[in-house]
Structure 1
Amino acid sequence: MATTTYHSRSNSFPSQSHPAIENVEDHLCRFRAHSESTSVCANLASLRNLHEGIDDLIQMPSVQQTLSQGNWINELLEGSLKLVDLCALSREIVSLTKESVQDLESSIRRNKAETATSSDVSAYVASRKKITKMVSKSIKNLKSFDHKSTTDNNLWTMMKEVESHDLSVLKSVLILLSGENEKSSKTSWSLLSKFSTQNSRVYSENGAEDLSSLNIQKSTKNMDSKSMLKQLKSSEMTIQEIEEGLEALFRSLIKTRVSLLNVLSH
């Protein structure tokens, strides 16, 4: 991962060091250092903290003046809208995933059988196929997402790096929700890597979460219901944590977008 630093101030920053700038720099340094070995849920929480720092930064008059120059603010608003939409879609997918898991759990408990019925498994598999298609389509749509920095201005580079981290973590969430991991999803990982840059890595590769147990096959015979319930419950707990993390990130993305819109209106 790139190790961009911002110690050399440009005219877009105050002449004196400012706590808001140092706060964002500190969050970015920690994110670069630990994101690849940290779970998706932890990275979602880190992004929330990072956006809080960005919002404080945007409130600075000198930063607002810089963002108002040229077409910067419009480009950042375009990127923020795509991120909000992607996060909203990720929330929808995680909600569908949670619902499918809970439905299968309820069916197994209701039947009180030692094995899951074929109809229960078939309904679950059909739901998983729908979710997988949604994930695949979402990843393909990311081709048009431009998160590269086109200038060496420190403020612009910082803002685009935050955007890049948002995109990468949301990508990793989508892959995780598909029930795949780095060993079983070579095609998906290859697809993701095509749209990644040195600054944009997929963080679930070394994360602690693993939802591969979601991929229950329709052809499975005599599957032990107790074992299945245990796996589903474990997955449900992870899904719940991801859902909470996405909700917090969504609110942060909205807040950042509102701050950018306020700069544009002034």
Structure 2
Amino acid sequence: MVASPICSKTSFHARSNSLPSRPHPIISEFDEHICRVRDSQATSSSSSSIGHKLCSLQDLYDSVDKFLQLPLTQRCLAREHNHKCVDGLLDGSLRLLDVCNFTKDALMQSKEYIRELQSVIRRRQEGLDSEIRKYTASRKVVKKAIKKAMKSLKGIENTCTFSNEDPEIVAMIGMLREVKSISLTVFESLLSFISEPKSQAKKSGWSLVSKLIHHQKIACEEEETNVNEFAVADAALESLISCKTDEMKNVQKKLNSLDLCIEDLEDGIEGLFRRMIKTRASFLNNFN
């Protein structure tokens, strides 16, 4: 794999008394995954691109876990003068887990509301407008919570200090800070996707849906990469109230697409959460 020119190589190396200093294979693997996640940041904020970012981040955490189990890493973490710094890293990992948990909850709550609405539409019960308004209100609650959470993301800083006399811990901190920064960027991208469809959400009702359908016919591949399923469903439901349009099948299709989108994102977040837990456990095992 050819690394992106913007990807800087880490300076944490496995050393030998008889051989020249060279990167450990796990460090090289770490660098490759860093580059891959960074490269994915340039892609569009569609559900498929975010899913790809989550998969790349999972691979990165697998490399971090291997790195934490290297004897050199364990010796570095065990040095008494590095304990304060390690405590800071552990605190940072816990806060990242909190963010991941919040993201899981936001997706789960959104899916529950969507499925309730799907059930009402399938049974064609009375009071559909009321259910749609309930869904819209629930979306506002989720958006408000996400907005608050995203503000807190900016406050997650690694405050640990370390001595310049220990180059290994300096390099290690640089690596793990980079992982933290990339993780926060991916979480922010996903939360923005859920809560802020941006310009798509501001377009009126069926004009958006019709435009999307039109582009799917004449410029399918390029347009689909930029589709936000939350924005499409929101616009379709809004039009159903304001215009009383008899387009139930189309609305059901949009809700179903959104449901499948959320399931895929949930799988990605769950896989990432498990790897983050494993990485934290590897950290803690170094002190048992």
TM-score normalised over the length of structure 1 = 0.80
Give 1:29's match in structure 2, choosing from 10, 27, 35.
35
Aligned partner of 2:133: which letter?
S
In structure 1, what is the equivalent of residue 51 of structure 2? 41
Structure 1 residue matching 2:41: 3-state secondary structure: helix
Give 1:118's match in structure 2, choosing from 111, 129, 144.
129
Q: Once the 2 structures are TM-superposed, how far is the Cα of residue 131 of structure 1 from its aligned partner?
A: 1.1
Tell me the percent identity: 30
For 1:37 and 1:155, how far apart are their aligned partners in 2?
28
Structure 1 stretches lacking a partner, 5+ long: 186-205
- Equivalent runs, 1:1-266 vs 2, <5 Å: 3-6=6-9, 9-10=11-12, 13-14=14-15, 15-37=21-43, 39-69=49-79, 70=82, 71-111=84-124, 117-146=128-157, 153-178=170-195, 180-181=197-198, 208=226, 210=228, 211-215=230-234, 216-217=237-238, 220-223=242-245, 224-263=247-286, 265-266=287-288
For 1:26 and 1:166, how far apart are their aligned partners in 2?
16
Q: Once the 2 structures are TM-superposed, how far is the Cα of residue 34 of structure 1 from its aligned partner?
A: 3.1
For 1:2 and 1:225, how far apart are their aligned partners in 2?
50
Structure 1 residue matching 2:8: 3-state secondary structure: coil
**Structure 1 residues 34, 129: closer, same or farther in 2, change over 3 A?**
closer
**Structure 1 residues 60, 182: closer, same or farther in 2, change over 3 A?**
farther
RMSD over aligned Cα, in angstroms? 2.8
For 1:47 and 1:165, how far apart are their aligned partners in 2?
8
**Structure 1 residues 207, 89: closer, same or farther in 2, change over 3 A?**
farther
| Preserved CA contact (<8 Å) 2:38 2:182 | no
Aligned partner of 2:271: which letter?
A
Structure 2 stretches lacking a partner, 5+ long: 16-20, 203-223
For 2:105 and 2:190, how far apart are their aligned partners in 1?
12
Q: Once the 2 structures are TM-superposed, how far is the Cα of residue 155 of structure 1 from its aligned partner?
A: 2.2
Aligned partner of 2:232: which letter?
S
| Preserved CA contact (<8 Å) 1:147 1:164 | no
Q: What whole-Å deviation, never above 9, does each CA across 1:224-266 have from its counterpart, x for those lacking one?
A: 2112111111111111110100100110111111111112x24
Decide which structure has the larger Cα Rg and report it. Answer: 2
Structure 2 residue matching 1:144: 3-state secondary structure: coil
Bigger shift: 33-42 or 144-153?
144-153
| Preserved CA contact (<8 Å) 2:7 2:34 | no
Q: Once the 2 structures are TM-superposed, how far is the Cα of residue 208 of structure 1 from its aligned partner?
A: 4.8
For 1:229 and 1:166, how far apart are their aligned partners in 2?
34
Q: Once the 2 structures are TM-superposed, how far is the Cα of residue 148 of structure 1 from its aligned partner?
A: 8.6
In structure 2, what is the equivalent of residue 189 of structure 1? none
Q: Once the 2 structures are TM-superposed, how far is the Cα of residue 207 of structure 1 from its aligned partner?
A: 6.7
Q: What whole-Å deviation, never above 9, does each CA across 1:9-41 have from its counterpart, x for those lacking one?
A: 35x643343211111111112222233216111
For 2:262 and 2:171, how far apart are their aligned partners in 1?
37
Aligned partner of 1:64: which letter?
Q
For 2:201 and 2:14, how far apart are their aligned partners in 1?
46
Q: Once the 2 structures are TM-superposed, how far is the Cα of residue 66 of structure 1 from its aligned partner?
A: 2.1
Bigger shift: 34-43 or 218-227?
218-227
Q: Once the 2 structures are TM-superposed, how far is the Cα of residue 46 of structure 1 from its aligned partner?
A: 0.5
For 2:118 and 2:196, how far apart are their aligned partners in 1?
17
**Structure 1 residues 161, 149: closer, same or farther in 2, change over 3 A?**
farther
Aligned partner of 1:229: which letter?
Q
Higher relative contact order (CA 8 A, sep 6+): 1
The number of residues matched between the two structures is: 241
Q: Once the 2 structures are TM-superposed, how far is the Cα of residue 177 of structure 1 from its aligned partner?
A: 1.3
